[in-house]
Amino acid sequence: MPEATSADIATCESEPIRIPGAVQPHGFLLSLDLSDVPDAADASAARVVQVSDNLADFTGMAPAAALGQQLRAVIGAAADQLAPLLRLDPARDRASFLTTLTLESAPTQYDVLAHVCDGLLVLEFEPAAGNLEASLHRLYPVVGDFLNKINDADSITEMGQLAVNEIAALTGFGRVMIYSFDKDGHGTVLAEALQDGYEGYVGQRFPASDIPRQARELYLLNRIRLIQDANYTPAGLLPVNHPLTGRPTDLSLAALRSVSPVHLQYMRNMGTLASMSISLVVDGKLWGLVSCHHATPRRLSYHQRTVCEQLGQILALRIRNRADADELQFRLEVRRVMVNLLGGLTQGSDFIENLRSVMPELLRFARAGGVAIVIDDRLISFGDTPGDDQIRDLADWISLHSHEDLFHTASLGALYPPAAAYADRASGLLAMPISRIHQHYLLWFRPERVYTIDWAGRPQDKQGAGALSPRTSFETWREAVHGTSAPWHDAELELALEFRTTLLGIALERAEQMADLAGELGRANKELEAFSYSVSHDLRAPLRHIVGFSDLLMETADNDNPERRLRFLTNIKTSARLAGKLVDDLLSFSQMGRSALRPVRIRMREMINGCIERLAPEATSRRIDWHVEALPDVTADPAFLQLALYNLLSNAVKFTAQSDPAVIRITSEKLRDEVVFHIADNGVGFNMEYVHKLFGVFQRLHRMEDFSGTGIGLANVRRIVERHGGRVWARSAPGEGATFSFSIPNTPPPDKE
């Protein structure tokens, strides 16, 4: 093979490795056009339209003479044995085994592989190794034994070691190693099996440039590749281009595909003349390779390669299962920390202080060395962090350069040069905005992790003197890496986003609670204003009466008029009783906000009847027609609900004093989520313009002289009903009576008072 001294290593990425125009010379290739052979049974008559130029070495026929000939004319009677197996099947997306046969031109047996390429059936003939039945009898039990062994392995490294030992024993290669690719494409050797005289590479790293991007893509498509002798001279195709398309023939699926001269030189520089690669594909991605090396040429049969490929597939499946299990365990541990963390964030009312209290859990959640919270002028830090001013500057930089829900890097100094000053504490950063409108951040810092990489030769050594090679030396070269932290795990980032969503939810709930509290304070303030008015007016009026009539009584002390003194004393007593009633009602209203609800199932008809009986003494001189329908049961606090009903029924009795007869109706209706009760009367009614005052404290729509009362009863009704989660309202017109309504939910809400 001529030395590739004129090639440039920089062209590796663009080298046409799928269309080399040649095959390895230990076998030969024939491409058949089956378009003129509709009957598969007569496929031996298919025309040969492309051949490898080493055809004569195996059949004795010159390559040019074979073109256009029927298959039987090229390989003789063996074509009749092969014909029933020939078909243009698009499902042949890889080289598949057809049969083993013997050519007339030589007693050698050949394994025949087939695949489809742009409308042609491509046949590859490789010399078979030994007796097929004996080979299969020996090979396939290996798969079962390997399955039993690998199921007992706990780690990926241990599984890899089992695989390299098995493949080394099966193939006889002097060095078999497994390496995995990192996110940058560098390969790290995890396990290896060595014969005497072979250098080991466990723990060393091969640079990504050793395997160009297009070669990695080919490893995904064709998952096993054998090079029997790195010193081979390629056998070219005749014609070079595909006979049907006119383009170079794609040999991606061909087992005999010739490989890049760059790679062959790489092998020779490594002291390797035979090699085999088995792709380890996990979740559709090239996870790693099983790489086999031998110092001298080495031949493997198709069946040996197939068993090795199956071992690789089994290993890949176990790697995926192990990785999935490890990932699940990791996520569970992080989520467990997050649950504990969220529990601490809901303990107090001050959100920021809650965050301060869970700083240790925040560190564990992100496996960080330090954590900081920046909210306006407040900065809280914990653990090993940069200084306060440095943190504030960093937060300002993040606000300008990141607009995502999460910012993360394992090399902060490379993105933000001032961070180089505190790389020992913060080479890694995970930044989470905790406000949608303000520059508020939760920042996690990871310290620098200085580590060394043992490269199998300097990655920069791409060429030797004259000859093309990835590098001329594979001696260990150690590189120290600074300014980076442990990388952020994908699961950490996903759970951090989930944590952020929950955190914002907690903040929103706090805001809603504050809004509710503000509303409650507003209502309480209005009630307090009404209370102040009552104290200054309603309660002062009877007290003025007491004082005034007492003065009159003292002035007439010498007057011997008992009737007048009796009238003054009666007025004093009435005023004192009214003042006492005001105080009692105030205490009752206050009690509504302090006592806990104790809901039970209540028979409403029985409770209504009990209230009517209590009101009977107030209506002895009047005729009242009570109309009570059948009422449904409800769940409520019996003491509170009875007080509300008594107030409503008492009002109905009071405001029908001028009606003869008084008619009071109690009805109900069932809605989807609640029961509504109506208490209607034919009393004096009221003007709906003032309905908004009706349920306020000390609000009256009629003069006290006409209808007595303190103005607290309906306020009590509203508070009782609302604490049960219900509503209260009224409809009326002057002189046409009034209807008071309230609802009780089917399921009472938790008591918030």
Q: pLDDT tens across 595-624, in order?
A: 677 888 999 999 999 888 888 877 777 889
Q: Judge whether 527 and 586 are in contact, CB under 8 Å.
A: no
pLDDT top residue among 543 and 439: 439
What helix, strand, coil percent values describe the chain, rounded to 5? 40, 20, 35
**Confidence band for 464, pLDDT divided at 50, 70 and 90:** very low
User: Mind listing the pLDDT tens digit for each residue in 395-428?
Assistant: 889 888 777 788 999 889 889 999 999 988 888 8
Please give the C-alpha separations between residue 483 and each of 8, 182, 261, 417, in angstroms, as whole numbers.
34, 19, 38, 11
Lowest mean pLDDT across 178-192, 204-218, 299-313: 204-218
Domain contains 747? yes
Task: Supply the pTM of this predicted model.
Answer: 0.59
pLDDT top residue among 732 and 133: 732
Domain contains 686? yes
Kindly state the average pLDDT of the residues 428-448: 83
Q: What are phi and psi of 339, to 5 degrees?
A: -65, -45
pLDDT top residue among 319 and 43: 319
Kindly state the average pLDDT of the residues 126-139: 67
Residues of the chain with pLDDT > 90: what percent? 31
Pairing of strands 378-383, 370-375: antiparallel
pLDDT score of 71: 93
Q: Judge whether 51 and 78 are in contact, CB under 8 Å.
A: no
Range of the domain at 625: 594-753
For the chain, the residue count is: 753
Q: Torsion over CA of 636, 639, 643 and 646, rounded to 10 degrees?
A: 90
30, pLDDT greater than 90 = yes
Give the whole-angstrom CA distance, residue 146 versus residue 166. Answer: 7
Residues of the chain with pLDDT > 70: what percent? 75
Domain contains 731? yes
Helix (H) or strand (E) holding 113: strand 109-117
Q: Torsion over CA of 720, 723, 724 and 725, rounded to 10 degrees?
A: 130
| Chain centre distance of CA 374 | 26
pLDDT score of 288: 92
pLDDT score of 638: 85
**Confidence band for 469, pLDDT divided at 50, 70 and 90:** very low
Q: Judge whether 264 and 1 are in contact, CB under 8 Å.
A: yes
Kindly state the average pLDDT of the residues 119-138: 76
Per-residue burial over 202-233, b = 16 or more CB atoms within 10 Å of its CB, e = otherwise: bebbbbbbbbbebbbebbeebbbbbbbbbebe
Q: Which two tokens stand for residue 540?
A: 């002062």
Domain contains 133? no
User: Mind listing the pLDDT tens digit for each residue in 665-707?
Assistant: 999 999 989 999 999 999 888 888 877 777 765 454 444 444 4
- Report the SS3 class of residue 371: strand
Domain contains 328? no
- Report the SS3 class of residue 698: coil
Indicate the DSSP class of residue 701: S
CATH number at residue 746: 3.30.565.10
How would you list the strands of the sheet with 451-456, edge to edge? 224-227, 274-282, 285-294, 175-181, 187-194, 205-206, 451-456, 476-481
Give the whole-angstrom CA distance, residue 338 versus residue 366. Answer: 10
pLDDT score of 29: 97
Give the whole-angstrom CA distance, residue 548 versus residue 541. Answer: 10
Q: Which amino acid is at 406?
A: L
Give the whole-angstrom CA distance, residue 719 versus residue 113. Answer: 88
Give the whole-angstrom CA distance, residue 529 versus residue 731. Answer: 26
Please give the C-alpha separations between residue 648 and each of 477, 533, 729, in angstroms, as whole numbers.
93, 24, 12
Q: Which of 91, 96, 89 is CA-nearest to residue 123? A: 96
Q: Which of 404, 428, 406 is CA-nearest to residue 499? A: 406
Domain contains 82? no
Lowest mean pLDDT across 91-105, 202-216, 484-498, 567-581: 567-581
Lowest mean pLDDT across 279-293, 503-517, 529-543: 529-543
Domain contains 288? no
**Confidence band for 569, pLDDT divided at 50, 70 and 90:** low
| Cis, peptide link before residue 562, omega less than 30° from 0 | no
Q: What are phi and psi of 53, to 5 degrees?
A: -80, 10
Provide the number of structural domains found in the chain. Answer: 1
**Confidence band for 714, pLDDT divided at 50, 70 and 90:** confident
243, pLDDT greater than 90 = yes
Ranked by mean pLDDT, the top range of 153-162, 439-448, 473-482 is 153-162
How many C-beta atoms surround the C-beta of residue 13 within 10 A? Answer: 11
**Confidence band for 220, pLDDT divided at 50, 70 and 90:** confident
Domain contains 8? no
- Report the SS3 class of residue 699: coil
| Chain centre distance of CA 136 | 47
